[in-house]
Amino acid sequence: MKTLLKTVLIFALVLMFLLVPVVAFLLKDWYAYWGMGFLALLFGIVLIYLKTRYYWEED
Amino acid sequence: MAEPTFEASPELVIGVTTAVVSFLVISILLGFLGRRKAKSFEHWLVGHGDIGPLITGFALVASYLSGWAMFGNAGLGYAYGWSGSWLIGTVNLMGIALCLVLGYRMRRYVKLGARTVPEMLRVRFESKLAQAVAALAMIILLIVYSVGQFKAMATVWAVTTNTSFYWSLLLTAIFVLLYIGVGGYAGTQWVSCFQGILLTVVGWTLGIIAVFWAGGFSQIADAIRTETFVAPGGTQTSIPLSGYTLPLPPPQGLAFPGVDWIGVGGSMLMFLLMATGFPHNIARFLGSRKITKKEYWMMLAIVALGSFTAMWIGTVGFAARAVWGNRLMLDQYKPMYGDSAAIFVSIDSGGVVLASLFAAAVFAASVATLGGMAMIMATNITRDFVHNVRPQTSPKILLWLTRLTLIPFIAIPLWWTFTSPPPILSEFVAGSAVAQAGIFFFVVGVSMYWKRATKWGAIATVFYGLILTLLHPNAYGKSIGLYHWGYWAFAMMLGSALVYFAVSFATKPLSKEKLEKLFPQGSQQPT
């Protein structure tokens, strides 16, 4: 289950990156502008979740 | 459309001078305190390894948000409309978050003796050659990047104090030299935190005020729909600014990243890789202490605030275009052109107070980045070349040599800006950013995690990246028919990846015993 969730989250990261030009193409103007920023924020949250949950490093 | 009516009133000159001088004095004092605390050359370079998440987070914001983001982004929004968004960095948080995740491992190399980013490579590959080659590449690319910082500061100073652009350049260089000369890493980490907070607060404030000043979001969008592209110098075109791509005429137009979706893809990849690839960024982790999981989330919140600052500054450019049309692209605004949009908006929308704070924030962004870069370049010489060749050189001599070496690394980009200032600064420095992203994301970022990486893979990537840098569409690329920025950017970044992995696989890595020291079992705990 944990591995599945990890895989889904990594896939979500790729999807969020690929969705950026799609958002720009479909939404236009400010919706696209802030929409891309929102996608980047989601990307950051998922990435830090992956780091702290699955790839945490101890000294 | 209205004309930006503006006069450098005595109040404005006093306000801006006070704000900039106060900012510099606070920064220098913090830097001086940091220097006093540094008991040795090594302490001066990396501090005491006790920097927490708040300081590291805001310092990262300050070194990442350069004159490009804090100032040039408005020029991009102004000159290119929505298609400028790709260089404004709507996705920059993706790259900064990746840098947070990857950069933390620098601490492991500090424990093994690394004090600079190239030294990390010496430790990783047990190769002084890899260290020296990386140091040389950093110097070349960071000099280009520094040009943009000088243009940002000089433009602000010139516009607000009615000083000539060239005298403003000279003055800002003196400021920078003073500031860095008494700073050093331990100092600049604290100074950068102060600067990160300042430019985040001012950037958000100016962006929000600019939207109201221009009549609101929908009015700005409506106005941009009616605008067409005007090249620096005033050449009119009928190409509308309303889309997220701007089909500028080939061949020169292809050098703009937002010209089509290939360019867009290249700029997105650049933003994903460059925060980790910037040596002055990843170096922020050299002095950081152990960070808890909770503190990691705190760092993300800080860098998220910072990354949206860049977008708010882009918004200022859209607002300026909506109110003033294409006026700032005309020859009377040479050599600043659209890059002057943000400072004019700050004056027009917020008067002396906002303009003064914004001037200080631009200095903060530029000085923090320039400071970080000048330190990297100077220590590249002393630590990565001199100390490499003559390890018995005393720390005292190295310290003074580092300070002296700062002078040429400030003078060279200064001369460049003086003789040929780039018309749109963000577009210019993006060339260096792509090269840093392509080379150092792999050579530094990936090498910290990939055991199979070899020194020859790293060295070959650096040479490949430097050759591709020369082939930038605005440099020598056109001589071989490479006019398209997107193709060039992909060739740089994907080509660097290919060279790095292929040469690494083809050559012998460090022995298993040595790698165990660098990648101890159980240091990473998948749960």
List, for residues B21-60, the tens digit of each pLDDT value.
888 888 777 777 766 666 666 666 666 677 788 888 888 8
What does the pLDDT look like over B396-412, one tens digit per residue? Answer: 888 888 878 888 888 89
The torsion angle over the Cα atoms of residues B69, B73, B74 and B75, rounded to 10 degrees, is 130
B269 touches chain A (CB under 8 A): no
Q: Select the residue of A33, A39, A45 nearest B85 (Cβ to Cβ).
A: A33
Mean pLDDT for B266-287 is 89
**What percentage of chain B has pLDDT greater than the value 70?**
92
Chain B residues close to A56, C-beta within 8 Å: 293, 524-525, 527
* pLDDT reported for residue B470: 93
Q: Select the residue of B91, B100, B527 nearest A36 (Cβ to Cβ).
A: B91
Contact call for A28 and B94, based on CB within 8 A: no
Chain A CA closest to residue B303: A44
Contact call for A40 and B85, based on CB within 8 A: no
How many Å lie between the alpha carbon of A8 and the closest alpha carbon of chain B? 16
Residue B180: is its pLDDT beyond 80?
no
Contact call for B527 and A33, based on CB within 8 A: no
Contact call for B264 and A24, based on CB within 8 A: yes
B523 touches chain A (CB under 8 A): yes
Six token digits for residue B403: 């300070």
How many Å lie between the alpha carbon of A4 and the closest alpha carbon of chain B? 13
Count Cα neighbours of B23 within 13 Å in the Cβ-side half-sphere.
28
Six token digits for residue B309: 């600052």
Q: Select the residue of B91, B107, B296 nearest A48 (Cβ to Cβ).
A: B296
A45 touches chain B (CB under 8 A): yes
- Return d(Cα B197, Cα B58) in angstroms, integer: 6
Query: What is the end-to-end Cα distance of chain A in Å, rounded?
Result: 28
Q: Select the residue of A37, A44, A59 nearest B97 (Cβ to Cβ).
A: A44
3 state SS for chain A: CHHHHHHHHHHHHHHHHHHHHHHHHHHCHHHHHHHHHHHHHHHHHHHHHHHHHHCCECC
Residue B362: is its pLDDT beyond 80?
yes
On whether the CB atoms of residues B216 and B54 are closer than 8 A, the answer is no
What predicted TM-score, i.e. pTM, was given to this entire model? 0.91
* pLDDT reported for residue B464: 97
Amino acid letter, B261: W
* pLDDT reported for residue B26: 82
Question: How is residue B52 annotated by DSSP?
Answer: -
A49 touches chain B (CB under 8 A): no
Residue B367: is its pLDDT beyond 80?
no
Mutation site, A36, A50, A54, A56, interface B, largest B CB count within 10 A: A36
- Return d(Cα B494, Cα B430) in angstroms, integer: 17
* pLDDT reported for residue B439: 96
Apex B203 CA angle, B198 and B206, nearest 5 = 120
Apex B258 CA angle, A23 and B471, nearest 5 = 135
Average model confidence (pLDDT) across chain B: 87
Chain B residues close to A33, C-beta within 8 Å: 82, 85, 90, 311, 314
Q: Select the residue of A21, A41, A45 nearest B264 (Cβ to Cβ).
A: A21
3 state SS for B138-165: HHHHHHHHHHHHHHHHHHHHHHHHCCCH
How many contacts, defined by CB atoms under 8 Å, are there between A and B?
A: 106
* pLDDT reported for residue B186: 46
* pLDDT reported for residue B525: 46
Three-state secondary-structure class, residue B249: coil
Chain A CA closest to residue B242: A29
How many Å lie between the alpha carbon of B406 and the closest alpha carbon of chain A? 34
How many Å lie between the alpha carbon of A56 and the closest alpha carbon of chain B? 6
Contact call for A48 and B527, based on CB within 8 A: no
On whether the CB atoms of residues B507 and B480 are closer than 8 A, the answer is no
Contact call for B293 and A56, based on CB within 8 A: yes
- Return d(Cα B165, Cα B182) in angstroms, integer: 26
Q: What kind and span of H or E run contains B228?
A: strand B228-230
- Return d(Cα B508, Cα B496) in angstroms, integer: 19
A3 touches chain B (CB under 8 A): no
* pLDDT reported for residue B39: 63
Reported as a pLDDT band with limits 50, 70 and 90, residue B184 is: very low
Q: Among B210, B206, B246, B247, which residue's Cα sits nearest to residue B324?
A: B210
- Return d(Cα B409, Cα B420) in angstroms, integer: 17
Chain A residues close to B108, C-beta within 8 Å: 59
What Cα–Cα distance (Å) separates residue B255 from each residue in B334, B430, B491?
A: 21, 11, 14
A26 touches chain B (CB under 8 A): no
ipTM for this prediction: 0.96
Reported as a pLDDT band with limits 50, 70 and 90, residue B523 is: low
* pLDDT reported for residue B48: 65
Mean pLDDT for A10-32 is 95
Q: Which of B127-141, B186-200, B420-434, B466-480 has the lowest mean pLDDT?
A: B186-200
Q: Which domains does chain B have, with CATH numbers?
A: 35-515 (1.20.1730.10)
* pLDDT reported for residue B280: 78
Mean pLDDT for B58-67 is 81
Residue B499: is its pLDDT beyond 60?
yes
Chain B residues close to A54, C-beta within 8 Å: 526-527
What does the pLDDT look like over B211-249, one tens digit per residue? Answer: 999 999 999 999 999 999 998 887 889 999 999 999 999
Q: Higher pLDDT residue, B362 or B314?
A: B314
Q: Select the residue of A2, A40, A56 nearest B92 (Cβ to Cβ).
A: A40
B298 touches chain A (CB under 8 A): no
Reported as a pLDDT band with limits 50, 70 and 90, residue B183 is: low
Chain B residues close to A58, C-beta within 8 Å: 522-523, 525
Please say whether the dihedral angle defined by the alpha carbons of residues B189, B194, B195 and B200, taken in this order, is positive or negative: positive
Residue B506: is its pLDDT beyond 90?
yes
Chain B CA closest to residue A44: B97
